[in-house]
Amino acid sequence: MSEDLEGKHGVQSLEVGMSILRAMTTGKRSMMLKDIAAAAGMPPSKAHRYLVSLIRSGLVEQDPQTSRYDLGPFALSLGLVALDRIDRIRLGLNAITDLRDAVNETTALAVWSDNGPVVVRWERPRRPITVNVVTGTTLGLLSSAVGQVFCAWLPERQVEPLIQREIEAGRSQAGIASMDDARQLLADVRARGLSVISGNYILRGVEAVAAPVFNFKNEITLAIVLVAVEGSMDLTEHSPTLAALRDAAHALSQRLGATL
């Protein structure tokens, strides 16, 4: 077999070894041989031969007392290097561009700052009438879809003092007059998996829907938002627009290492 043809076929034994590692990552803790074999879809004897080689490479280690297998130090090093090289903003910009092309709505990417969520980039749709989003804008916590998403998934101790100040200043969403009101609103956002604001947005005639993006620690790190002229987006629960947003946020979360 020529080198060119062999390169196209790849190395089957390596692919089998990777399937074992992939099976081990699905476990929440160290695993027995029979469980690894079952997850990888191969006989235990075959899995054991590959595990021996993976142990020698440092990708897997075995506890001599329990005989259970877990990812090894070299696997950890690979993971840390990969995480260090991930540029979440660059990946987020690609995600909102693809989403804009899919739904033809204004899309934007936001991060959390000490003062609340900030828009870092937006993409304009191919429509005669659009809603512009100003890069660098700090959004409200409860009066914006992005703010609600961040407040719903960030730790309460981090956001509640900011929410309280917003309520006292009269800048919260209509109907939110106390911290209990805010907690119920954010519980609803978590239950739905995204925030939808229409008819009572920070700007009259505008509606928005935002979804959280999580990192490898399963912590919120970004928010993706769709913004449109009020009444122009299908915001019903099973609409293609909301499905596309959910899919985009989920795909980006997976790319950033989330396991939710």
Q: The domain that contains 233 carries what CATH number?
A: 3.30.450.40
Residues 77 and 103 in one domain: no
Q: How far apart are the first and last CA of the chain?
A: 43
CB atoms within 10 A of CB 93: 17
Neighbours of 227 (CB within 10 A): 27
Shared-domain flag, residues 128 and 221: yes
Q: CA 14: distance to chain centroid?
A: 29
Nearest-10 crossing angle of helices 179-192, 145-153: 90
Reported as a pLDDT band with limits 50, 70 and 90, residue 5 is very low
> Which residue from 238, 239, 207 is spatially nearest to 225, judged by alpha carbons?
207
For residue 83, the model assigns a pLDDT of 61
Is the full-model pTM beyond 0.75? Answer: no
Q: Is the dihedral of CA 163, 221, 136, 146 positive or negative?
A: negative
Q: Are 119 and 133 in contact (CB under 8 A)?
A: yes
The number of distinct structural domains making up the chain is 2
Mean pLDDT over 37-44 rounds to 92
Residue among 199, 160, 208 at smallest CA distance from 180: 160
Residues contacting residue 200 through CB under 8 Å, at least 6 positions apart: 173, 174
What is the span of the domain harbouring residue 80?
3-84
Least confident of 79-83, 137-141, 147-151, 249-253: 79-83
- Same domain (yes/no): 64, 136: no
User: Lowest mean pLDDT: which of 83-92, 95-104, 203-212?
Assistant: 83-92
Report d(CA 199, CA 208) in Å as an integer: 10
pLDDT of residue 3: 44
What is residue 169's predicted lDDT score, i.e. its pLDDT?
A: 85
The mean predicted confidence, pLDDT, of the chain is 87
Which amino acid type is present at position 127?
Answer: R
Tell which phi-psi region holds residue 68, choosing left (phi > 0), alpha (psi between -120 and 50) or beta.
Answer: beta
Count CB-CB contacts under 10 A for residue 182: 23
**Cα gap 213→112, rounded to integer Å:** 12
Is 165 in the same domain as 57? no
pLDDT digits (tens, 9 = 90+) for 152-205: 999 999 999 999 999 988 877 767 889 999 999 999 999 999 999 886 555 667
**Are 41 and 122 members of one domain?**
no
Distance CA 112, CA 254 (A): 19
List the structure tokens of 208: 């928005």
Which stretches of 186-243 are assigned E, i.e. beta strand?
195-197, 206-214, 220-229
Q: What is the pLDDT of residue 1?
A: 40
The residue among 27, 54, 84 that closes a domain is 84
Domain end point (choices 84, 106, 127): 84
260 within some domain: no
